[in-house]
Structure 1
């Protein structure tokens, strides 16, 4: 693990321990949304009337600092849904990304498409939280977890009706994919150099176990990249900073989708 991931995971352990003191697992299970039937992101990604895009609401990041301090959850996520996003990704990490559980709950109230809780999940308590705040999918990062931890957390989430997106950065990490992982995300960004390389993703795509929905993550800023990745076998495309760093994220997303549909018609 690189230094920032190590730091984040260490902080997350302390943070989760503190939250357990404030709200018990039993309390989470009594939350109104805990009883809701989650939506299937893998199904939405493959729906022909959607774009395949998982559009992200993200205020800042450790590497970029503030990305967008003005846009609201309401204006951005409803626009994503209106213009054809297959799913939403909402950051809930506060210290490093400026997100919150409240952001996801707002998005849940306003939108009826699947929502990914984007966070650093290391404990089953966070999976219960995800269900309680209205998420449909959790993210597990292979770089941060052992194979046994991935297997345990994925099974725990699956048994709650949540889908699991496992993010990998290398071929070796595909060994951590289990039957309870529904989607496999390939991060196009090298964690050591931070350079984006779509070729690596395209090479990895055919090695992802059959039956898993393939998601390309990071660095996608051009509809042509989606066309290339789709031809390589990817069904989902997680886009975070590209829309949020624009002056008007809803308009930026609308234009991107228009260009994407035009590019797809040329194939």
Structure 2
């Protein structure tokens, strides 16, 4: 059987985690994290807007496993400034190297050039990565339920909460959602992309959202290409969207922002 993309990612993340442990002890990483500027409220920022207003979590990524290079002229600082000016609510930064050609330095650059809350879009399997994320300037992390056990998710979430960070619990199916609802975070990301096949289906958001209690804030992720897509998802009482590829392929990000938002700002 051919290993899934997610399994391949997990295999090399284990090596990256070992490298982090070699660079600094867990205690040292914690100390570095605690010295960082206090986090900006990611969930708080999202809650400021209500329907019909839309929240755009604008993503910065150079490439993906399924599409290859997405943006050749890749300048994280310039993109971050443009997102700020265009009206993004928050920013997401891909830092994974082997599959997305991201760098931890990208997040540091974005932090220096933006006052918006930042999600570190990373495959997190160990607490040490949470400390690293806070040190780099991230305000929010991602826990991908397809990638971690319940025990790992609880441990990762605890460290993030202790650091006053927000956590997006990402799910793709009902089993993952039921597990996610056992955690403390009230921020759920529904990924329309299957991380094992990288195929997308917007119906994923619709089918899962009905099982999520009202006190949760839901983000729809992946496969959102135009305003029609956003309006379809918004019918499910969702107004937060994580969008990356559309902007990364754009020659005029500000114009495409306007097209996506329409009157939903």
Q: After TM superposition, is the score higher than 0.5? A: yes
Q: Is residue 163–residue 182 contact of structure 1 (8 Å, CA) maintained in 2? A: no
Q: In the alignment, which residue of structure 1 is the partner of 2:230?
A: 226
Q: In the alignment, which residue of structure 2 is the partner of 1:153?
A: 156
Q: In the alignment, which residue of structure 1 is the partner of 2:112?
A: 109
1:3-22 alignment, distance < 5 Å: 3-22=4-23
Q: In the alignment, which residue of structure 1 is the partner of 2:24?
A: 23
Question: For structure 1, which runs of at least 5 residues remain unmatched after alignment?
Answer: none
1:200 Cα offset (Å): 2.5
1:168-223 superposed Cα distances (whole Å, 9 cap, x missing partner): 11011112223422311111123455433222211211212332210000011101
Q: Does 1:217 align with 2:221?
A: yes
Query: Relative to structure 2, which stretch is displaced further, 221-230 or 45-54?
Result: 45-54
1:131-155 superposed Cα distances (whole Å, 9 cap, x missing partner): 1111000011110111222122112
1:103 Cα offset (Å): 0.5
Q: Is residue 227–residue 264 contact of structure 1 (8 Å, CA) maintained in 2? A: no
Query: Relative to structure 2, which stretch is displaced further, 227-236 or 26-35?
Result: 26-35
Q: Is residue 158–residue 180 contact of structure 1 (8 Å, CA) maintained in 2? A: no
Q: Is residue 5–residue 195 contact of structure 2 (8 Å, CA) maintained in 1? A: no
In structure 1, the residue corresponding to 2:169 is in which secondary structure? Answer: strand
1:69-90 superposed Cα distances (whole Å, 9 cap, x missing partner): 3220111011111111111110
Q: Is residue 56–residue 90 contact of structure 2 (8 Å, CA) maintained in 1? A: yes
Q: In the alignment, which residue of structure 2 is the partner of 1:259?
A: 259
Aligned equivalents of 1:97 and 1:180: distance in 2? 29
Query: Relative to structure 2, which stretch is displaced further, 43-52 or 2-11?
Result: 43-52
> Which has more helix, going by share of residues?
1
Q: In the alignment, which residue of structure 2 is the partner of 1:47?
A: 48
Aligned equivalents of 2:138 and 2:7: distance in 1? 25
1:86-114 superposed Cα distances (whole Å, 9 cap, x missing partner): 11110111111111111001111111111
Evaluate the alpha carbon distance shift between residue 38 and residue 169 of structure 1 in structure 2; reply closer, same or farther with a 3 A threshold. Answer: same
1:1-267 alignment, distance < 5 Å: 3-31=4-32, 34-48=35-49, 51-177=54-180, 178-191=182-195, 193-246=197-250, 248=251, 251-252=252-253, 254-264=254-264
Higher RCO (CA < 8 A, seq sep 6+): 2
Q: Is residue 172–residue 204 contact of structure 2 (8 Å, CA) maintained in 1? A: no
Aligned equivalents of 2:65 and 2:203: distance in 1? 25
Aligned equivalents of 2:217 and 2:132: distance in 1? 24
Evaluate the alpha carbon distance shift between residue 263 and residue 202 of structure 1 in structure 2; reply closer, same or farther with a 3 A threshold. Answer: farther
Q: RMSD between aligned alpha carbons?
A: 2.1
Evaluate the alpha carbon distance shift between residue 193 and residue 28 of structure 1 in structure 2; reply closer, same or farther with a 3 A threshold. Answer: closer
1:66 Cα offset (Å): 1.0
Question: For structure 2, which runs of at least 5 residues remain unmatched after alignment?
Answer: none
